[in-house]
Amino acid sequence: VNREKQMAVAADVEDFLSKGGSLCLFPEGVLNRTPEVLKDFRLGSFNTILKHKLPLYYCVTYGNHEVWSPSLKGVPGYPADIYVYIGKYEYDADKVDAQSLASGLREEMQKHISKMMLLREKRGYKPWCVAPHTD
């Protein structure tokens, strides 16, 4: 981790947000090889959200891992049903810290992933390709 670069980016983010900008973050911080269960979210972005009392919208998708399997090298991908949910997570910036905000959002997003998986099962969905888990 290059701390100087991180500090410069953090300063740019602060400047951007102070001028009314918005951010799009990927809170897991890494590509999740087991998309059925979200990884713990990294807290840095949640400190920024709280500091600026930003509205918090989120997007949950499921099925992407079947389109672009880690085993595909140079292949354009497989057809798959992709499920998407977009929501707003309500929170009180004066009553939560970064850890509880991240945990609450992760729990909310996980509920939607679980619903998506149940819907796929109910519909009898069968993927073209089953991606091997590499975790």
Name the residue with tokens 């947000």.
17
pLDDT tens track for 45-98: 899 999 999 999 999 999 988 887 767 777 778 888 999 999 999 999 999 999
pLDDT tier at 132, thresholds 50, 70, 90: low
pLDDT attached to residue 64: 85
Q: Give 112-129 pLDDT, tens digit per residue.
A: 999 999 999 999 998 877
Task: Supply the pLDDT for residue 83.
Answer: 95
Q: Look at the pTM and tell me if it is higher than 0.85.
A: no
Q: Where are the beta strands (DSSP E) in the chain?
A: 56-62, 83-89
Q: Which residue type sits at 11?
A: A
**Residue that the structure tokens 């290059």 belong to:** 2
